């Protein structure tokens, strides 16, 4: 034991994860680790606020406001654009490179580790909704789409261009697991909240390993705030509590939070008892942060075709803050999000009553011999942590190995029209299930694609071509140059009458192909699950020209999502440039990046705790399910 404690003393002298917000309290072991701060401060010695929670987003280009200060630039109505560009008409188009649903699931989990705009209400700035639009198929009893501008950062938007605040640390540091404030973390840790009590080493979980609810410490009102959506608005105490306020958004996101809370506790349980609770906690937190970084840089980004410049170690000149262009446009890859989850498990897993309850929620139940597949529409999984426990994490992870949706201009109607909405009163949820969203089930429209367009205008993001210039790319001179298509003219087609841009026929799919280039017949099961190429009656370039007229007027988000993909990547040129610049900054500007952290090898040598886990390993260790070695790539099995 004495020799081991001598080694620990060496570890203490070697490891400095941060310049110190606080150090662990003294313990019998003598181990006193300085730890990475919760809010990201003090990472850069010269610029201690770089990447810190509560600081402004950076800008790569010049702010673009109508008055140069704060007023949003004008442009086509976002819902009008959405109906003609983002509308997928219920046809699923999947990743041509075979990126699985783990791609968008990890992408969202990671997003909630690095960025969160200030969501304080600034009053309504609702988006127009035109019920008479010939391409509108949804009902909206509110008559408009809810939208509120992001508050201006203090001291901006009056005499200088409006800026916005990132409320969480921009570093990839697992803040989505632990939070960025002492109060939230204290609530999350096991042990009493009594003044002066020592918090436990583990994170609080239920007896069966799920995240705690707001009522877990009896007084739900004193629990850390969590965003409420869907059914949780009416039952707020059912919300789970995690490091990030958005953990209840959908079952896949809640699952990721749960897996990494379990991973923290797995590491704690593997550490020797002579370490104090604080020492165990800080070691586990450090390893989990390294795991999140490593999965991001060695699995997630390569799967999407993001190739970064070689890593040469920490660069104190690199600001790891989040760029506004990345947060408000580049990372909004909502097109990838699948419209449903498909757990596939032995039928004996659920009783007949459970299966009937699932169907009553709007979940499609498919029996296949001794197995059962659940088709869970995304809207059923919104704000529904109860469902994750009813299905089971071990079952839920089995449904993410299919291809994710193609990262293109098309967005599933679950996000494009009914985001966080529940079926209208009197409608049987079971009748609203299935792979295609039924407009008659819903009476309110919330369009994430339209909001993406308006959020960029709200944040003063440059237009598409100006954004390209800001990232060192040449502007595009035509709409076909953006999309890579042969024409930007509407065809002469007897099915298209009047003004083509207002004719629903322009969105018809005329050709569907699978990953092997075989033609897929519309309306067949293969059309739901196999299509990677969809050709429409009109080109995207023609629709963009009719909407915008001038290529220099195209909104950055619309132009970026309309670009032809580069070979080997899930992105067009602009989006790839945005990701590359940001993820290099997050890597190079982090003094505690896992590849230069000298403490991780010591932790492995002394305690046998290895951060070099794949996401497949994390699932196996914490959900008991064996998945392919690289969960991000479709195997076809």
State pLDDT tens for residues 513-557.
999 999 999 989 899 899 999 999 999 999 999 999 999 999 999
pLDDT of residue 14: 42
Distance CA 540, CA 483 (A): 7
Locate the DSSP E strands across 89-197.
Answer: 127-128, 144-145, 165-166
Distance CA 351, CA 371 (A): 13
pLDDT of residue 424: 83
Share of the chain above pLDDT 70, in %: 94
- Write a three-state SS string for 365-391: EEEECCEEEEEEEHHHHCCCHHHHHHH
Whether residue 284 contacts residue 267, with contact meaning beta carbons closer than 8 Å, is answered with: yes
How much helix, strand and coil, in percent to the nearest 5, is found in the chain?
40, 10, 50
State pLDDT tens for residues 466-525.
999 999 999 999 999 999 999 999 999 888 888 999 999 999 999 999 999 999 999 898
Tokens matching residue 243:
């490091």
For 266, residues 6+ apart whose C-beta sits below 8 A from its C-beta are 621, 622
pLDDT of residue 438: 83
pLDDT of residue 433: 64
Helix or strand holding residue 533 (H, E) = strand 531-536
pLDDT of residue 451: 97
Distance CA 530, CA 259 (A): 30
Residue 111, Cβ neighbours under 10 Å: how many?
Answer: 18
State pLDDT tens for residues 163-200.
999 999 999 999 999 999 999 999 999 998 888 889 99
Sign, CA torsion 217/222/225/228: positive
State pLDDT tens for residues 5-23.
544 444 443 443 332 223 3
What pLDDT band is residue 33 in, cutting at 50, 70 and 90? Answer: low
pLDDT of residue 30: 42
For 501, residues 6+ apart whose C-beta sits below 8 A from its C-beta are 84, 543, 546, 547
pLDDT of residue 435: 65
User: At residue 124, does pLDDT exceed 90?
Assistant: no
What pLDDT band is residue 36 in, cutting at 50, 70 and 90? Answer: very high
Distance CA 621, CA 611 (A): 13
pLDDT of residue 184: 97
pLDDT of residue 197: 85
Instruction: Calculate ∠ Cα 464-568-476, nearest 5°.
Output: 25
pLDDT of residue 494: 87
For 414, residues 6+ apart whose C-beta sits below 8 A from its C-beta are 337, 339, 377, 378, 379, 437
- Average pLDDT on 256-268 reads 98
pTM, two decimals, is: 0.94
What pLDDT band is residue 637 in, cutting at 50, 70 and 90? Answer: low
User: At residue 87, does pLDDT exceed 50?
Assistant: yes
Helices 599-607 & 2-14 angle (0-180, nearest 10) = 170
Distance CA 105, CA 378 (A): 12
Instruction: Calculate ∠ Cα 379-380-384, nearest 5°.
Output: 110
Largest CA distance in the chain: 87
DSSP string, 619-632: HHHHH-----S-TT
Tokens matching residue 244:
């990030």
User: At residue 2, does pLDDT exceed 60?
Assistant: no
Distance CA 401, CA 413 (A): 22
- Residue 58: DSSP 8-state: B
The distance of Cα 277 from the centroid of its chain, to the nearest Å, equals 32
Residue 317, Cβ neighbours under 10 Å: how many?
Answer: 9
Whether residue 478 contacts residue 180, with contact meaning beta carbons closer than 8 Å, is answered with: no
For 35, residues 6+ apart whose C-beta sits below 8 A from its C-beta are 17, 18, 20, 21, 22, 23, 24, 282, 285, 286
pLDDT of residue 66: 98
pLDDT of residue 38: 97
pLDDT of residue 628: 97
- Average pLDDT on 217-243 reads 93
Residue 235, Cβ neighbours under 10 Å: how many?
Answer: 12
- Average pLDDT on 618-623 reads 98
Each domain of the chain, given as residue ranges in start order, spans: 1-61+91-121+173-304+584-590+597-637, 497-534
Helix or strand holding residue 340 (H, E) = strand 340-341
- Average pLDDT on 269-283 reads 97
Distance CA 378, CA 415 (A): 9
What pLDDT band is residue 34 in, cutting at 50, 70 and 90? Answer: low
- Average pLDDT on 432-443 reads 79
Helix or strand holding residue 512 (H, E) = strand 509-514
State pLDDT tens for residues 320-375.
999 999 999 999 999 999 989 999 999 999 999 999 999 999 999 999 889 999 99
Residue 524, Cβ neighbours under 10 Å: how many?
Answer: 11
């Amino acid at each position: 034991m004495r020799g081991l404690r001598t080694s620990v003393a060496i570890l203490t002298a070697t490891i400095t994860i941060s310049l110190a917000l606080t150090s662990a309290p003294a313990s019998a072991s003598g181990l006193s680790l300085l730890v990475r701060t919760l809010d990201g401060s003090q990472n850069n010695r010269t610029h201690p606020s770089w990447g810190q929670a509560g600081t402004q987003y950076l800008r790569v280009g010049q702010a673009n406001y109508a008055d140069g200060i704060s007023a949003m630039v004008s442009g086509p109505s976002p819902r009008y654009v959405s109906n003609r560009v983002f509308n997928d008409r219920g046809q699923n188009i999947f990743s041509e490179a075979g990126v699985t649903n783990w791609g968008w699931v990890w992408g969202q989990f990671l997003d909630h580790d690095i960025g969160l705009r200030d969501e304080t209400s600034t009053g309504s700035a609702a988006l127009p909704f035109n019920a008479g639009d010939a391409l509108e198929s949804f009902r909206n009893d509110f008559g408009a789409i809810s939208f509120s501008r992001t508050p201006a950062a203090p001291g901006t938007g009056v005499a200088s261009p409006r800026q916005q605040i990132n409320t969480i640390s921009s570093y990839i540091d697992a803040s989505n697991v632990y939070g960025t404030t002492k109060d939230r973390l204290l609530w999350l840790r096991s042990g009493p909240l009594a003044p002066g009590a020592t918090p436990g080493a583990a994170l609080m979980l239920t007896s069966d390993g799920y995240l705690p609810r707001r009522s877990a410490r009896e007084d739900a009102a004193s629990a850390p705030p969590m965003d409420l959506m869907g059914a949780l608005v009416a039952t707020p105490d059912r919300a789970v509590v995690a490091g990030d306020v958005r953990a209840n958004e959908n079952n896949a996101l809640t699952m990721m939070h749960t897996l990494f809370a379990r991973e923290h506790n797995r590491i704690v349980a593997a550490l020797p008892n002579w370490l104090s609770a604080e020492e165990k906690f800080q070691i586990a937190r450090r390893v989990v942060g390294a795991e999140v970084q490593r999965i991001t840089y060695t699995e997630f980004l390569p799967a999407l075709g993001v190739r970064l410049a070689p890593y040469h170690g920490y660069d104190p000149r690199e600001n790891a803050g989040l760029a506004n262009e990345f947060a408000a446009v580049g990372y909004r890859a909502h097109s990838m999000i699948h419209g449903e989850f498909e757990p596939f498990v032995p039928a004996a897993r659920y009783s007949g009553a459970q299966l009937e309850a699932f169907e009553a929620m709007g979940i499609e139940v498919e029996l296949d011999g001794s197995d059962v597949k659940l088709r869970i529409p995304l809207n059923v999984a919104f704000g529904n942590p109860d469902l994750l426990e009813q299905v089971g994490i071990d079952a839920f992870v089995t449904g993410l190995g299919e291809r994710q949706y193609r990262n293109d201009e098309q967005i599933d109607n679950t996000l494009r029209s009914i985001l966080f909405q529940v079926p209208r009163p009197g409608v049987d949820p079971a009748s609203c299930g299935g792979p295609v969203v039924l407009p008659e089930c819903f009476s309110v429209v919330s369009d994430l694609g339209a909001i993406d367009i308006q959020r960029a205008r709200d944040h003063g993001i440059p237009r598409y071509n100006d954004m390209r210039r800001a990232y060192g790319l040449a502007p595009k001179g035509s709409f076909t140059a953006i999309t890579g298509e042969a024409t930007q003219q509407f065809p002469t087609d007897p099915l298209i009458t009047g003004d083509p841009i207002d004719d629903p026929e322009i969105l018809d799919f005329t050709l569907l192909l699978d990953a092997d280039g075989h033609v897929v017949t519309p309306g067949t099961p293969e059309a739901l699950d196999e299509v990677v190429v969809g050709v429409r009656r009109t080109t995207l370039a023609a629709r963009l020209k009719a909407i915008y007229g001038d290529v220099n007027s195209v909104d950055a988000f619309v132009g970026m999502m309309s670009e032809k993909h580069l070979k080997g990547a899930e992105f067009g040129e602009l989006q790839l440039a945005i990701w590359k610049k940001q993820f290099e900054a997050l890597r190079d500007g982090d003094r505690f990046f896992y590849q230069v952290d000298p403490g991780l090898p010591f932790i492995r040598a002394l305690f046998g705790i290895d951060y070099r886990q794949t996401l497949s390993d994390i699932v196996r260790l914490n959900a008991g399910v064996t998945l392919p070695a690289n969960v991000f790539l479709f195997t076809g099995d």
